[in-house]
Each structure stands twice: as structure tokens, then as C-alpha cells.
Structure 1
Amino acid sequence: MSDSNSPVDAKPHILNILPDFPIIGQQSAIRIQQKIDLLLLAIEALELGASEQFLATAKQLDLQGIIKNRIVLWRLRCTNPWRRSYLRNSLTLEQAKALVIIASYRAKQLIVPIRNLLLAEQQMRDKGLPLDNHFLLSEYLEQFRSHFRSRMNPRRAKVAVYLGWEDELNELALSLLHQLIFFTGTMGMQRFWISLFDGEVA
């Protein structure tokens, strides 16, 4: 019989919302870690003080045992190999779940600005105008580019492509917005989680 104070029994109940898919293989782990970090980066470009909001959400959802403070959050995000400060660690299943849950909750809180930005994108494209012509869209794209440039390693081939072509980086920023809006709907958190394992889960 397990002790009532064991780590297993202490696992936050909210983690049970997401199924326990195994993270199999280094390439799978890297892809999952990269996608989670980029979506968090998009949220940071949307929301001033996003890091503090991530930590506040972790506390609100009883996830502070996994994400204790800013340093722990930073270390978890540095499992993305595109990062300048890549730590060559892998997320545990619980850590990955916690980050997905936090990202989903923050995205739901930001659903109005996300929708407004996607509407602005469509309007600019319909008119054949540069995306930066729209003030709010320009602000989001500029913030995302700034975060990406300061945190990602330019020696990584794909990062170098994004840094060399601003339009490519803008498209990445917008594609992440489209994913975030998808994850705010019914069962959005679960869809977010399952999307990380596409092609690997029967």
C-alpha cells in the first residue's frame, strides 16, 4: 500500500484531464517541447507580464509543485532545442501536461485579442495590404519577432531561416495564433495535448 504522502498520491488532479500518452524517443520529445515553447512564446507576445501570469495560473491550478518559480519555468522551456540556452533535458509527462494546461488556460483568457488579431489578418489579406499596416497586428508581430530573436539560437538552421526572412517569422507567429484559437474551444486543452502526439497515438 502506498503512503498517503507519496508523490504519486500528491499528483495534482487536474493532470488527469489529459491522457497519459507516452513520450517515446528523443525526436518525439524534442518536437513536443518545441511546440509547447513556441505556443507559450506567442502568448508572451500577446500579454504583457505573461511570465507572471503563467506562474499565477500554475498556483491557481495547484501546479506549483511542478512549476515552482520563474527559474523552473525557464528551465522547462529551455528543453526547446531552438533556444540559446538549450539545456538538453527532456520534459517529464507531468511537466509537459502542466505546461499545456497553463497555456490553454491563458489562451482562453486571451480569446478576445486572439480573435481580433485573426480578424485583422484576414482583413489585411483580403485587401492585399501588408500585415504591418494594422496597428494591433503590427504590435503583436513585432513583439513575437523580438522575443524570438532574443531567445532563439541563430546557429540552428531553421531559426536562421526565420531570422533571415521576416515574412517567414510573421507567418510562424500567425500560425501559432491559429493554433491557440483552436485550443480555446470545447475540449481545446485535450486537442492541444493530442496534437502533440499526432501520428504516434492510435
Structure 2
Amino acid sequence: MSDSSLATESKPVILDILPDFPISGPGCAMRIQQQIDLWLLAIEALELGASEYMLQTIQQLNLQEIVKNRIVLWRLRSTNPWRRSYARDTLNLEQAKALVIIASYRAKTLTVQIRQLLLAEQQMREKGLPVNCHFLLAEYLDQFRSHFSSRMNPRRAKVSIYLASEAELNELALSLLKQLLFCTGTTGMQRFWISLFDGEVA
């Protein structure tokens, strides 16, 4: 087993919750890797100690054969080409499934908080006020912008656009919240997963 492949020898049963899709090449598309990492970044902005909760979730769901420790989790997330620490590696299907399951389970525990923030966004927009006028929204958006700016590579064209515009970055953070809420509903995890492959499967 090569170190770069981050491969695993056994398949946790929980992965069967998500359907398999044929992927071209050695791993998932860069867009998929980027999207999964951004979901996890939004979760980190939502809760203090999110990384520790992710590791606990990995243990609870018996995913440690794929994500053995925090270093492996970091390496898997570094397949996001926007990252400063971009590993130039690819996620295989099982690794992508594991990360989506982790994101989905964490999002479910944060459902009430996510709903509160999206309701606050709606109220601010109805009043014609900037979204960061609401203190809970402002806290989430500040955290997200901080994580994004410290971890993403400003030399990437799209990253530089976001970093140049607080409003654009806020919109990204809010769109990720809506996607996370989507995955908390009935069969949400499966739809969350399938959405990654829209346009990817022939």
C-alpha cells in the first residue's frame, strides 16, 4: 500500500449507506474534494472543538480504518486544491464517502443551530439589513472567514476573489449552511452524496 494513496484494507459497513458511482481516473474529481472540505470547514465555524467532535464521530461510526487519526483526516482534507496545504492527492470513493458521512452526522447534531442561523439570515434580508448585523450570524461568518483565509491559498484565482470581498465570502458561508441543512433531512445524507456527482456520472 502506497503512502500517497491513503488506501484502506477493509470497508466499514456504514459506507454501504451511500451508493457507489463510477469515477474516471485514480480518484474523485477536484470539485468533489473541494466541496467536501468546504462542508467540513463550515462545520468547524459552527462549533468550538469541531475537529475533536469529528474524531469522536469517526470512532462512533467505526470509520477509523479509513480515517485513523487527526493527521490522516488533515491529509484527506488537503486534497482540496484550494488549500495552502494541497497534497496533490485524490480521494478514493471510500474516503470521500467517509468524509461525507462525518459531515452529515456532525450537521445533524447542529440542526437547531443551522436552522437558527438561516432564519436569522432571512430576517436580516427581509429588513434590508446586512447579514452580519445579527450577532449569531456575525459570529459564524467571522469564524468561517478566519478559517478560510488562514487555510486557503490566496494564489488560487477563486480564493483570491473570495478573500477580496467579505460579502462574497459571507455568501459562500451561507450557501454551505443551506447545503448542510439539506443533508439533515430524511435521506438527506444520500442526496447530499448524490449531489456531488451531478454531471460527473455518464
**TM-score scaled by structure 1?**
0.93
Aligned residue number for residue 70 of structure 1 = 70
Moved over 6 A (4+): none
Deviation of the 1:10 alpha carbon: 3.5
1:115-137: CA deviations, max 9, x gaps? 00000000000000111110000
Aligned residue number for residue 145 of structure 2 = 145
Matched, 1:61 2:61: yes
Kindly report which structure 2 residues correspond to 1:45-194, keeping only aligned pairs within 5 A, or say none: 45-194=45-194
Deviation of the 1:169 alpha carbon: 0.1
- Partners of 1:163 and 1:175 in 2: how far apart? 16
- Partners of 1:151 and 1:8 in 2: how far apart? 27
Aligned residue number for residue 21 of structure 2 = 21
Deviation of the 1:25 alpha carbon: 4.4
In structure 1, stretches of 5+ residues that fail to align are 1-6
| SS of the residue 1:154 aligns to | coil
- Partners of 2:105 and 2:115 in 1: how far apart? 16
Aligned residue number for residue 3 of structure 2 = none
| SS of the residue 2:199 aligns to | coil
Letter in 2 for 1:126: E
User: Conserved in 1, the CA contact under 8 Å of 2:183 and 2:189?
Assistant: yes
RMSD, aligned CA? 1.7
Deviation of the 1:9 alpha carbon: 8.4
Aligned residue number for residue 197 of structure 2 = 197
- Partners of 1:105 and 1:166 in 2: how far apart? 29
- Partners of 1:193 and 1:160 in 2: how far apart? 28
1:83-125: CA deviations, max 9, x gaps? 0010000001110000000000000000000000000000000
Deviation of the 1:20 alpha carbon: 1.0
Identity %: 77
Aligned residue number for residue 4 of structure 2 = none
Letter in 2 for 1:127: K
Deviation of the 1:145 alpha carbon: 0.1
Letter in 1 for 2:92: T
| SS of the residue 1:160 aligns to | helix
Aligned residue number for residue 36 of structure 1 = 36
In structure 2, stretches of 5+ residues that fail to align are 1-6
| SS of the residue 2:19 aligns to | coil
**Could you say if the C-alpha distance between residues 27 and 163 of structure 1 is closer, same or farther in structure 2, counting changes exceeding 3 Å?**
farther
**Could you say if the C-alpha distance between residues 16 and 26 of structure 1 is closer, same or farther in structure 2, counting changes exceeding 3 Å?**
closer
Deviation of the 1:163 alpha carbon: 0.2
Letter in 1 for 2:70: R
Instruction: Give the paired residue count.
Output: 196
